[in-house]
Copies of this chain bind each other. A is one copy, B any other.
């Protein structure tokens, strides 16, 4: 019953809208407030509603967050998961870069350019040892890849990318360590991204895919390098 209600409720509403109050829903569907609450919790569990105490629930634009939870918990269990994720990411991003080159709108390309420019600015503006700058660079890095996924015009691709984004963030952080170990600089990273961007701007799908592939292969090596140079493996136990 509550399960059916969950679908009912969702079908009535567009993303971004806020739900009627629990009391109102209860009346409309002729069930108790409790049943409504359970249906709402179910949807929240799927990441389709955003709950907050004292305020109405909001219908979320689906963004693969539910899958993200799941991926994150998997990565916490073993470091192999991180490699698996990078492999999948390689495959998806090569494709999304290829598609972006063929389909990206002017605005889509601009978003990719902005992210890259952000990386450049961060590097130039940074003083020698600014941990904050490092984090910012990192964010622009993720943003660059996200912009490409969106520019591919493939919504499933976008969702998958979002789902992977948070576990990936962890991955990129690790890879940066390996990156430095291998004597690479942030400038190298920027150049790799530059090549991808140019291929997309040229509308050359093949080149864009290949540039992305090379970049990610390199990232993969970085991660491997970082993990092997770490004393204890990054397996995080589940909290009890």
Which of A's residues lie within 8 Å of B, judged by CB?
A: 2, 6, 11-12, 34, 37-38, 41-48, 62, 64, 66-67, 69-71, 73-74, 80-81, 84-85, 87-88, 90-92, 94-95, 99, 154-157, 159-160, 163, 238-240
Among B45, B80, B91, B156, contact of A44 (Cβ-Cβ < 8 Å): B45
Among B47, B62, B157, B238, contact of A84 (Cβ-Cβ < 8 Å): B157
Instruction: Name the B residues within 8 Å of A155 (CB-CB).
Output: 74, 80-81, 84
B70 in contact with A87 (CB, 8 Å) = no
Instruction: Name the B residues within 8 Å of A37 (CB-CB).
Output: 38
Main secondary structure of the interface of A (DSSP, over half): helix
Q: How far is the CB of A79 from chain B (nearest CB, A)?
A: 12
Bound-complex Cα distance A74 to B48 (A): 13
Bound-complex Cα distance A37 to B195 (A): 53
Q: How far is the CB of A9 from chain B (nearest CB, A)?
A: 12
Among B44, B73, B81, B87, contact of A42 (Cβ-Cβ < 8 Å): B44
Bound-complex Cα distance A11 to B66 (A): 18
A154 in contact with B46 (CB, 8 Å) = no
Instruction: Name the B residues within 8 Å of A154 (CB-CB).
Output: 84, 87-88
Q: How far is the CB of A18 from chain B (nearest CB, A)?
A: 19
Q: A71's closest neighbor in chain B, by CB?
A: B156
Instruction: Name the B residues within 8 Å of A239 (CB-CB).
Output: 11
- List 13 A-B residue pairs with CB atoms under 8 Å apart, sorted by A's residue number: A2-B41, A41-B42, A41-B45, A42-B44, A44-B45, A64-B70, A67-B163, A80-B155, A81-B155, A84-B155, A87-B154, A88-B154, A91-B91
